[in-house]
Structure 1
Amino acid sequence: MNDIIRTHATHGTAAVELGPHAPKPTALTEGLTEVSASTWSNGRIDTGLWECTPGDFTAERNGYTEICTILSGRVTIEVEGQQPEEFGPGDVMVMPSGWKGVWRVHEPLRKHYTVIDD
């Protein structure tokens, strides 16, 4: 059967409170913080909401692929050897396992993410 399993409603995700921010470990900008909340997981796939304050940070996707949709804010993603790309509300990004880059967050950013372990 293909029934929908509703474990957590995320309607109006821009208004969902995720809790207190914490310093981002890979921040290049002093004071940059982040917070996330998983809404569903089955051990191999995890999905939820994430947000971060403006600034720059490095990121790598080792051992997993991430698919995310920007809900609010703007970010420029820089990957070595490629042109920087800007993303905003409604844009979808796929960062496959092995991806490495720099996020330049221009304004408070919120995304919906789905992580799939290799």
Structure 2
Amino acid sequence: MSIETIVDFSQEGVAPERYLPAPEKILKGNPEQTVYQHYNSPCGQFGAGVWEGEMGQWKVSFTEHEYCEIVQGVSVLRDAKGGAKTLRAGDRFVIPAGFEGTWEVLEPCRKIYVSFEKSAAAS
């Protein structure tokens, strides 16, 4: 492999993917989201990029392990029992596969993420 295979997030050229959560998952607001997927591994289980979210709240169910670093904004992550963690710029954390709850964006949010999709065989 050569230096050209290194993925630089600061380089332009990654097409944004804009979407809304499924209607049945939205709890409030109009939480439009944008993903800039900078890297996908050949096996399809590992990825990294930038995510942006607008204000609103929706249900989440993580099938992947995800490392996150909030670089802008404020969000609240709640588990299914109602426990909550407020996330602000500078916060770094991992959401394990199997986590279920809600994500609420209080101020437009931007995060860097690295995810590893749990394979069916590794359950």
Query: Does the alignment reach a TM-score above 0.5?
Result: yes
Once the two structures are TM-superposed, the CA of residue 19 in structure 1 deviates from its matched residue by 3.7
**Is there any run of 5+ residues in structure 1 with no aligned partner, and where?**
none
Q: What SS does structure 2 have at the residue aligned with 1:85?
A: strand
- 1:34 maps to which residue? 33
Residue type at the aligned position of 1:37: Y
Within 5 A, what are the aligned runs for 1:65-104? Answer: 65-81=65-81, 83-104=83-104
Once the two structures are TM-superposed, the CA of residue 11 in structure 1 deviates from its matched residue by 4.0
Report the CA distance shift for 1:41/1:85 in structure 2 as closer, same or farther (over 3 A): same
Structure that is richer in strand per residue: 2
Aligned residues: 112
**Is there any run of 5+ residues in structure 2 with no aligned partner, and where?**
119-123
Q: What SS does structure 2 have at the residue aligned with 1:73?
A: strand
* Paired residues of 1:65 and 1:95 also in contact (CA < 8 A): yes
Q: Deviations over 1:23-78 (max 9, x none)?
A: 2223222422111011112122100011110111110112x211111110001111
Report the CA distance shift for 1:40/1:23 in structure 2 as closer, same or farther (over 3 A): same
Structure that is richer in helix per residue: 2
TM-align CA RMSD: 2.6
**Aligned partners of 2:53 and 2:59: how far apart in 1?**
13
Once the two structures are TM-superposed, the CA of residue 91 in structure 1 deviates from its matched residue by 0.5
**Aligned partners of 1:90 and 1:113: how far apart in 2?**
13
Within 5 A, what are the aligned runs for 1:57-72? Answer: 57-62=58-63, 64-72=64-72
Residue type at the aligned position of 1:51: E
After superposing on structure 2, the runs of 4+ consecutive aligned residues of structure 1 that deviate more than 6 Å are none
